[in-house]
Amino acid sequence: MDRILIRDLSTRCIIGINDEERREKQDVLINLTIFADLHQAGTSDRFEDSVDFRALKKLILNLVEKSSYHLIEALAEAIADVCLKDEAILQVKVRVDKPYALRFARSVGVEIARKRQT
């Protein structure tokens, strides 16, 4: 299956379970692998035949910046739900990283894969 990759989408949100984590927005990094049939777009060279990943990015940033989840797992699930609302997207892999969440680690992350329910 064809893929669109969005790498290192950086944003900030309230995320975490501790009081100090919930006082201020923290950095999160989002990586997406979007599975769709891109054959038509590849042959027609028409924007309308592909996934509008710019619009998708705006929807995701809006969701994340207004969110207040305790777990990055829940944030990843919400992002997957937004992606799968686009009927052209058949499957999505979402990775959410929380930089410097653990001492001595660059980041902590989760990765989920979700398919469109038929």
pLDDT for the residue 45: 96
> Is 98 noted as a catalytic residue in this protein?
yes
Mean pLDDT value of segment 66-90? 97
Q: Cα–Cα distance between 106 and 118 in angstroms, integer?
A: 38
pTM, entire model: 0.94
pLDDT band at 117 (very low <50, low <70, confident <90, very high): confident
Indicate the CATH number for domain 2-115. 3.30.1130.10
Mean pLDDT value of segment 13-33? 95
Which amino acid appears at position 99 of this protein?
A: P
- Catalytic residue (one of 25, 66, 98, 115): 98
Sign of the four-CA dihedral 95, 18, 66, 84: positive
Which amino acid appears at position 87 of this protein?
A: E
| H or E element at residue 68 | strand 68-69
